[in-house]
Structure 1
């Protein structure tokens, strides 16, 4: 479990999301525009989407030690490539590579622990990595340049990856039994409603996941943004375990609607209220829900009997993430308020759709 958690810390917490706390520094020191930062964010989400699709087409890669280790090396190289200069085209290419690599590492680590009674511990690694990236920027941001911080991020990725390097692959799925294949269930109205809800979650959550630190920093002291990101990570650490425990008492559909509603509040708070208290509350709500929403959506999909429902939801979610920064890019010229209000509206709609999927 520890090795798999370290792999997720490297791939998701640092490799994928370190861009969020670094974004304000990059803008301040390079003068990069809001629209370009949104494009760079989208490149990473596009890479993650392409990586997930590639693994769905070539499932053997999900259990390949060679693919896993090559992805770790590619992730570190992509972080170092961010320091080459200020050419946005280089950043776009580097973040696409980072997205593909982080998808491969995530799937390998998740597959390695599937079915294990303590598998939930693995997903605490995402929060640990996010908290690490926030601490690095909060502590070292005042004394290091943005390029030096990317090098530090790469070193952190190496540290976590060294722990995960020897993680053995998961067991292959059992061979299908002889006889007639199981009946295929046609997608129902509940399935399409769940899919629409999860698409909107991908679109809305990634606006916070990309611009929360920049928005908080713009409304207060420079340290408040990275500090808020640390809070996001710390809140994310126990959240998968807590939501899984809640599943024993309430339905996944009801919990999903609640989690999405809480996340919409996390988007609305920094848009309407300035100050550190609102930032901390927003960070706790965001960190405490985004991993749980994935868990709850997948659990809801399993009950619908749709073949490869989890894979389909992942693709839908990925499309939402790609579109999120692009949708709000035109709104960023005068700050982040309009973008966060947009995210809150999208997430509230997602919550309503999730509530509509409940069994009557």
Structure 2
């Protein structure tokens, strides 16, 4: 049962995040070149997806309570994401595309909030690490597949590319349809409440928000930066986006390995600093190897940061409060990335360059590294003994 449920979770992450969120990035150059959108409009459309993700992060648990059944809510979110991708095949401009990209973001966040807990709660403790790794590998797989397939599919037209994304999401929805644990129930008392948090968590909350800002340049503008601003073309942009996805597949495993050896505090602070260096690297030195290195490192540390942040919460927060503190951190991350998406879009519309965005992202990540180092290594009063 658990392998079947893990496959459903893998499909959910691939649909909601890998395709619904990240497949848009390699399409941006074609959307601009084919006249579907202006550069500013393409950036605003990407920000609309981030706004939808924020809404889903805040309301996803309530959505499951409203429906009354977690598997039903997950199926509805997958169907909605597939429909939103297919609807984008109609070239009707920004006003038409914006609500569909918002819906894709909302659906992706809902799947992120609900799928993992539903599956891991029905998984024996000794298998949760492996099952969780399989679930979240769907994100990187979606990025890798989209980076490889989208440059090829746009050769047949943008409408074809969008329809193929919708069809792929529909097939994955069918695969996942019956695999959810039967005993999954809506989260109890799912109204939005801000948990009481100790001072030790505040730097982590701020650092996670900084990560939400710092990863926006790569996850939203990377392919277009390579293809149009650097003049390297869509094939190079798509190739590097595939490398980003390859890094995202293995990032959680590498992050966990480092945390076991260095401790979560040092691993997270170091990872934020390393990510800052990888974000600023293409501004300082443009070459094939440096672009590939930037793609792989930022890709690996995009889902890798989730592992490290969750580990720090376990170290610093008592078990009864961890779920609500994690929800607050997820909302802070979503708010930061949505705000950064709109803010950076405004900068692009004025400067007509992505370079300032990578500089800002690197500075935010560096600040996050400093903030994460301000928290104590562990909080004996709140934390259970480390196993």
> Do 2:118 and 2:184's aligned partners in 1 also have CA atoms closer than 8 Å?
no
Post-superposition CA distance 1:210-253 (Å, at most 9, x none): 00111111221321111111111111112112222322222212
> Do 1:40 and 1:91's aligned partners in 2 also have CA atoms closer than 8 Å?
yes
Q: Give the TM-score of the pair, scaled to structure 1.
A: 0.90
Q: Which residue of 2 aligns with 1:190?
A: 200
**Does residue 200 in structure 1 map to residue 210 in structure 2?**
yes
Q: Which residue of 1 aligns with 2:24?
A: 19
> Do 2:71 and 2:184's aligned partners in 1 also have CA atoms closer than 8 Å?
no
Relative distance call for 1:147 and 1:257 in structure 2 (3 A) is same
**Does residue 94 in structure 1 map to residue 100 in structure 2?**
yes
Q: Which residue of 2 aligns with 1:327?
A: 343
Query: What is the rounded CA distance, in whole Å, between the counterparts of 2:102 and 2:186 in structure 1?
Result: 33
Paired residues, number = 352
Task: Tell me the CA shift for residue 4 of structure 1.
Answer: 1.6
Q: Which residue of 2 aligns with 1:38?
A: 43
Moved runs in structure 1, 4+ residues, more than 3 A?
Answer: 56-63, 169-176
Query: What is the rounded CA distance, in whole Å, between the counterparts of 2:295 and 2:68 in structure 1?
Result: 32
Q: Which residue of 1 aligns with 2:8?
A: 3
Q: Which residue of 1 aligns with 2:178?
A: 166
- What pairs up with 1:1-360 in 2 under 5 angstroms? 1-30=6-35, 32-57=37-62, 60=65, 64-114=70-120, 116=123, 117=127, 118=130, 119-141=132-154, 143-169=155-181, 171-172=183-184, 186-218=196-228, 219=230, 220-305=232-317, 307=321, 308-332=324-348, 333-359=351-377
CA RMSD of aligned residues (A): 2.4
Structure 2: gaps of 5 or more residues: 1-5, 189-193, 379-387
> Do 1:194 and 1:353's aligned partners in 2 also have CA atoms closer than 8 Å?
yes
**Equivalent position SS for 1:294:** helix
Task: Tell me the CA shift for residue 173 of structure 1.
Answer: 7.8
Relative distance call for 1:175 and 1:289 in structure 2 (3 A) is closer
Post-superposition CA distance 1:48-95 (Å, at most 9, x none): 121221133355369522222221221111112212224211111011
**Equivalent position SS for 2:316:** coil
> Do 1:113 and 1:170's aligned partners in 2 also have CA atoms closer than 8 Å?
no
Post-superposition CA distance 1:164-190 (Å, at most 9, x none): 2222137458999xxxxxxx9952332
> Do 2:47 and 2:342's aligned partners in 1 also have CA atoms closer than 8 Å?
yes
Using the TM superposition, name which of 231-240 and 327-336 deviates more: 327-336
> Do 2:64 and 2:70's aligned partners in 1 also have CA atoms closer than 8 Å?
no
Q: Which residue of 1 aligns with 2:384?
A: none
Post-superposition CA distance 1:90-127 (Å, at most 9, x none): 11101111111112223332123315422222111110
Q: Give the TM-score of the pair, scaled to structure 2.
A: 0.84
> Do 1:132 and 1:230's aligned partners in 2 also have CA atoms closer than 8 Å?
yes
Query: What is the rounded CA distance, in whole Å, between the counterparts of 1:7 and 1:139 in structure 2?
Result: 24
